[in-house]
Amino acid sequence: MAETPVILPASVENLIERIREKQNQPPLHHSTIQQLALIGEQRALELLNVITKTTIRASFDGFIVHLMKNLSQNSVSPPPPPASSSEASMSPLPSPPPPKPFPSLSLSESSLSPSRSLSPLTLHPPPYCVLTALGELEFRKSFLLLSYAGEENIENDVRAEYVESLKDLPMRDFENEIWETVGMRRGVQRKDRQLYLDWDSGRTHIYQCYVSRNGSLRFKGPILQNTRTHLQKSLGDDNVLLVKFCDVGKTSPQEAAKLYGKFGKEGIRVGHRLYRFFVFKDGGKEEKKKEDQTTSSAKCYTSSVKCYFVRTESHCSVDQMEDYILSNRTMFESRLLFMHAHLLPSIDKYMARFSLILSKTYKLNIDLTTVTVQEIQDEYCRDGNGNKIDNESILTDGTGFISEDLAVLCPHNVYKGTNMKDTHVKEISNLVELQDMSRAVGETALSTHQPPLLIQCRLFHKGSAIKGTLLVNRKLPPKTIQARPSMIKVREDLNLLNGLSNGLSIVPSINSLEVVTTSQKPNRSYLSKYLIALLSYGGVPNEFFMDVLKRNLEDADHVYTKKRTALRVSVNHGEMDEYNAAAMILCGIPLDEPFLQYHLNILVKAEKNRLGEGKLYLEDCFYMMGTVDPTRTLKPNQVCIIHENGQITGDVLVYRNPGLHFGDIHIMQARYVEGLESYVGHGKYAIFFPCVGSRSVADEIAGGDFDGDMYWISKNAQLLQHFRQSDPWIESPPNSVRLSSSVIKPYELSHEQLEEELFKLYLETRFQPSSTIGAAADSWMALMDRLLIFRNDVTKEEEVQQVKSNILKLIDLYYEALDAPKKGGGKIQVPKDLIVEMYPHYMKRDNSFTSTSILGSIFDEVCRWQITDVSGIEIRKLPCFDVEIPDDYKHKWSSLYIQYRQDMSTALNGKRPNSNEEANEVIKLYKKIFNDAINIVDGSKSITDIYNEALAVYHVIYDYAMVKKDVARCGFAWKVAGSVLVRYYAEKQYQKTLICSPAVLREIFGS
């Protein structure tokens, strides 16, 4: 609702205007003016006169709030009004000092319903209130307090003095205090408790805001995660707000605009901070899967489209102490810091490219002001006479070069923005320094600092945004990056850089080289149902796949009897138990140990589900990132593959997910390229494609390119023997069912109009999501299944041709929908006549038929496979653990285990979607209790005490599991005390334990 105007005395108004003009300050916020009115003319003038004698370093509003606090602390407050019995029962402090009266201000002005809002003329609060006190806290603390208050007014729960008393508490103690004081009293569900032991570990803090249909706000967080985006790194975690809008039923974009349009215009207030809409991104199939798995209670807020607001203003005193990059900037200017996306030809493309700042990335420690970023030409497709075919047909689409001294700063194992091995390389000023280092420490230094061969990255530089891969090039001069036009998604606005555009001041750019993934040793490769269908169509007999399945099933059966198989499977699924099972196997614990056998059974079930979906392990197959041959040696049907032991030769099959076309699997000749080492040195793990010919091979394979695409490669002799290649896919003109989309050019709009259009696009994407990709893929699978069944039946020739024709139409729609965001948007629909009515039974749809295709046969065979039943397994202790330990250790862990069961019962209550995360946090808590008890770090405990502590855990848990006849309960002992138990077991077997990282184990098993 509209804010009630506040009229200040003329003397106060005049003094405010003089200060604003002299110190170039924006108008005061409504809440600040309101507080000035409440303290009266004389005090307001005294306060403003103080400001005239100094310089405002942060914000005018913040300075006033700060002075008001000091003013209120030095004044006599009137006695508080009598509290009702219900209010007294909610007081967080048993005997608080006489509090100052405070207003019932909402968390957000926009979240007030008419019945809850109060006219400012009826309030008589002192300047120092709860929200002001929150503004003095570290933001993550104030946000957590607002989060635990739910949708209620925070001032109904706490007083300003109480908030101030929490300021110096460590984060863990602070969380526990406000959970018991506010969260539990407010009835906040335990699943929404942020219970972490590692608040200061450096993990990313995610702040979430839920917006209901009536406009009320609910906060959740901070939630700790391991990855960061360029946006978070540039602004700070606490300045980025993930906003989720409620969608009950089928909310249309028009209805959503009425419900939520005000947030696009006015922003969202979090205490005394203001956040405004900034960017959104459709997470695609991966986020869609998470959305489908969400329970119905949370489904209305769940979407694959992620929307982010950023902090633009703050009246919190804690924020006045630090400079903030977005201070006094418009939203247009704020976006210019990241890239000059206003030059793009459409609103759709603007947001598609701007969302590059939301990629999860690893920032390279490089000062880009010292780096030369050059633009080099793409290599174009040419006909037999050497003439360029057109400007769209490119052989080097998405790949450039990086000098060795820069590439060496990148860790080898970056995957989706995570440094998998947690290795860091300091910045080296130039290649000469690297060579000096090599001579100083010996011949192995260069191999130690060998750069990754290929880096998938996002480069933000002087307003441009560059997306693609960078191939290490030893021939480049130091501090050099070369990008091609096909990689440059946003170009810099030269008028802006020179300060010549519409009177805007020169806006600096946030320059950064962000790594998404690096080329690295391939893991074990698995077939998919799509790949099996295409290989089967290409002539690979059903017997081949059934033999592969048989080997996979036999291998899974060996989990219970063969340590190598058991170890490999436990490493493959190591994230399920933090590699406890792998540690047990490595120290020599027998596979029939009750809990180990129980856990291996769980892993076998996971393997069974994977096999039923067609994910079969096949030897001599692997995935590699693709790039282009810099030597121009390869011919159109050739590739170069650098694997573990150098370049490999011979025929290979090459494919790229999500290829659906019959011709998306290519037979290529892998050959040795002699001059390649002069570019890449000893770099490994990439596939090089030719940069000559009339068409890019990558484009022939599902419209691929070289901006980070991974290519499936197979040297399997049997596949090569049977497979026959089909003609490649040729892109068709845009489908006639594509809905028209008016093209609005961002640079033709005013800044206010641009903001409206961007938020309108978000609402359309969020509340009218496209189902084309999923619908086309599902119908393709059903029709492809029918084609595999009938293709050799001469009596079905007419039906086969019709099915094949529909498949080709679906493929065109599918690829068009995948590329739509990159090509400027527009909605694509699947015609009703291409949507199938019946699906093969292995797709697990209600309207299904029993398929006799190879995929149906695989599914049925897996269903017939019997997994060993371990439900009645006898629980027994390891003989070497059967030793006497002091009773006080047992009594201690008996009590702790009772408390643990209560905590875990609460965490798993109702099988909520976050229950696994909560359970993990409970385990972490008791693991920390155990680690604190044994004091390994400071060495104050003897090895006997340490072993007694671990054995007490073991015996208490196993004794309880025997009584309950529930082997699953034994897991607590290994999760909490496993590291000591395996050491004790190895010692009793007169063996030594070896330190081996999970990453090395994965590398050994190729998993």
Is the pLDDT at 988 greater than 80? The verdict is yes
pLDDT attached to residue 475: 96
Indicate the domain borders of the chain: 10-73, 85-113+124-336, 362-385+397-442+454-513, 769-864, 879-1005
| 646: pLDDT strictly greater than 90 | yes
Q: What is the tens place of the pLDDT at every residue in 829-839?
A: 899 999 999 99
The burial class, CB within 10 Å (0-12 / 13-18 / 19+), for 940 is exposed
Question: If pLDDT is split at 50, 70 and 90, which confidence band does 963 have?
Answer: very high
For residues 655 and 710, what is the distance between their CA atoms, to the nearest angstrom?
A: 9
Question: What is each CA distance from 146 to 114, 156, 207, 756, in whole angstroms?
Answer: 21, 12, 11, 29
> What is the rounded distance in angstroms from the CA atom of residue 716 to the CA atom of residue 622?
10
What Å distances lie between residue 69 and 99, 104, 186, 373, CA to CA? 15, 18, 29, 51
984 alpha carbon, distance to own chain's centre: 39
* CA dihedral over 697, 702, 708, 714, signed as positive or negative: negative
pLDDT band per the 50, 70, 90 thresholds, residue 125: very low
Residue 927's CB is within 10 A of a number of other CB atoms, namely 18
**In the structure encoding, which two tokens stand for residue 248, read together?**
């009950």
Place of tokens 């000893």: 682
Residue 125 near residue 101, CB atoms below 8 Å: yes
Region of poorest pLDDT, from 44-53, 187-196, 231-240: 187-196
- Contact yes or no for 598/586 (Cβ under 8 A): no
Asked whether the bond before 79 is cis by omega within 30 degrees of 0, the reply is no
Q: How far is CA 13 from the centre of its chain?
A: 49
Please state the three-class secondary structure of 40-62 as a single string: CHHHHHHHHHHHHCCCCCCCHHH
Element (H, E) at 459: strand 454-461
* DSSP H stretches of helix in 56-206: 60-73, 85-89, 130-134, 139-148, 160-165, 171-178
Residue with tokens 């980025």: 240
Q: Among candidates 271, 279, 214, which has minimal Cα distance to 243?
A: 279
Confidence band, pLDDT 50/70/90 cuts, at residue 738: very low
Mean pLDDT of 189-194: 78
Give the pLDDT band (50/70/90) at residue 197. confident
Q: How many CA atoms lie within 13 A of 846 on its CB side?
A: 0
Residue 856 has pLDDT above 90, yes or no: yes
SS3 per residue for 904-918: HHHHCHHHCCCHHHH
Please compute the mean of the pLDDT values over residues 792-799 and round it to a whole number: 83
pLDDT at 742 over 50: yes
CB 672 within 8 A of CB 649: yes
Residues of the chain above pLDDT 70, percent = 84
Does residue 272 register a pLDDT over 70?
yes
Higher pLDDT among residues 954 and 58, named by residue = 954
The number of C-alpha atoms within 13 Å of 453 and in the hemisphere containing its C-beta is 28
Taking only the tens place, the pLDDT of each residue in 420-456 is: 766 555 544 444 444 443 333 333 343 456 899 999 9
Q: For residue 740, name the pLDDT band (cuts at 50, 70, 90).
A: very low
The contacts of residue 533 (CB under 8 Å, 6+ apart) are: 781, 784, 785, 788, 853, 854, 855
Residue 300 pLDDT: 84
Lookup: tokens for 337: 């810091």
Closest CA to 481 of 396, 404, 425, 427: 404
Q: Which of 242-246, 658-662, 694-698, 993-997 has the lowest mean pLDDT?
A: 993-997
Report the distance separating Cα 213 and Cα 886, nearest Å. 60
**What gap in Å lies between CA 14 and CA 18, rounded to an integer?**
6
pLDDT band at 914 (very low <50, low <70, confident <90, very high): very low
Position 933 confidence tier, pLDDT thresholds 50, 70, 90: confident
Q: What is the pLDDT of residue 992?
A: 72
For the residues 978-990, what does the mean pLDDT come to? 90
Q: Residue 432's CB: how many other CB atoms inside 10 A?
A: 11
Q: Which residues contact 939 (CB under 8 A, 6 or more apart)?
A: none
Amino acid at 561: T
Letter string b/e over residues 154-176, b meaning 16 or more CB atoms within 10 A of that residue's CB:
bbebbbbbbbbbbeeeebeebbe
Q: Long-range contacts made by residues 500-507, C-beta under 8 angstroms, separation at least 24?
A: 504/333, 507/333, 507/336, 507/337
Backbone φ/ψ region at 400: left (φ over 0), alpha (ψ -120 to 50), beta: beta
pLDDT of 439: 38
Q: First-to-last CA distance in the chain?
A: 58
CA nearest neighbour of 785 among 710, 849, 696: 849
Instruction: Output the pLDDT for position 825.
Output: 57
Which residues are CB-neighbours of 624 under 8 A, at least 6 positions away?
A: 519, 522, 641, 685, 686, 687, 710, 711, 713
